[in-house]
Amino acid sequence: MGILGIGVDIVKMSRIASVVIRRGERTLAYRILSHRETENFQRLTQEAFVSGEPSEGERLENLNDPLQPEEWLTKDSKWHRRIRYMCVRWAVKEAAFKAMNSVVRPTWKELTYEPQGDWGNGPPRLLYHPENDMDAKAIGKLLVSVSHDGDYVVAQVLAEEPNVLHMPEPPPRPERAEPLAQRLLKRKSELDGQKARKRGMLHYDLRNRWKK
């Protein structure tokens, strides 16, 4: 199976954190997350609310000297978890755009990144669910790899060609009818061959009788 494209992207988490500080988590989440990813993100937000974590507005109001994004990521583990959740999907989808660009142009919400395993340590999946069925058939499997290192997230996506082995074979082309003149010549040749064989058998029979 062939390869359509390979894409790589790197994201600095503190840069995304600064965007969240200015515009809010919901704004960025609504822009880049699919429906399923948004549901998972809302669960992370609810866990933070239940644990007594201050909201974004309360956090900013209580800060006389606002912290830098890097400090926020180290001082608030639950907030760090939500930022990392969005950074991973940002990097994965940017890499997917580069890998798929030669065939289709997906939107943020048409791609869903899903870690596997009980603790998210299994091989991840990247699902493509476009509204257009033709776009879905133009892309095969999407292979994704994600790596974290400090303040950075790196993602690589490989897009495969669609599997054509299970596609129905085209019907056989009908044989073209021979022209009438060609059919007559072919029939005449067959008759001449039959006559020649009969003459040969007759001559052989006469020679045998003469010898006797």
pLDDT at 159 over 70: yes
Per the DSSP assignment, residues forming a β-bridge with 148 are 153
pLDDT at 63 over 50: no
d(CA 162, CA 169): 15
Specify the length of the chain in residues. 212
CATH topology of domain 3-160: Ribosomal Protein L22; Chain A (3.90.470)
pLDDT of residue 64: 45
Listed range (18-27, 47-56, 114-123, 156-165) with the worst mean pLDDT: 47-56
Average pLDDT over residues 150-178: 74
Would you give the end-to-end CA distance of the chain in angstroms?
76
d(CA 204, CA 167): 60
Q: How confident is the model at residue 195 (pLDDT cuts 50, 70, 90)?
A: confident
Highest mean pLDDT of the ranges 21-30, 61-70, 140-149, 175-184: 140-149
Encode pLDDT of 16-32 as tens digits: 988 888 888 889 999 99
Q: How confident is the model at residue 107 (pLDDT cuts 50, 70, 90)?
A: very high
pLDDT at 131 over 70: yes
pLDDT of residue 201: 64
pLDDT of residue 65: 47
Q: How confident is the model at residue 147 (pLDDT cuts 50, 70, 90)?
A: very high
Q: How confident is the model at residue 76 (pLDDT cuts 50, 70, 90)?
A: low
Q: Is 0.85 surpassed by the pTM of this model?
A: no
d(CA 123, CA 116): 6
73: CB partners within 8 A, 6+ apart:
13, 14, 17, 79, 80, 83, 151
Listed range (58-72, 106-120, 188-202) with the worst mean pLDDT: 58-72
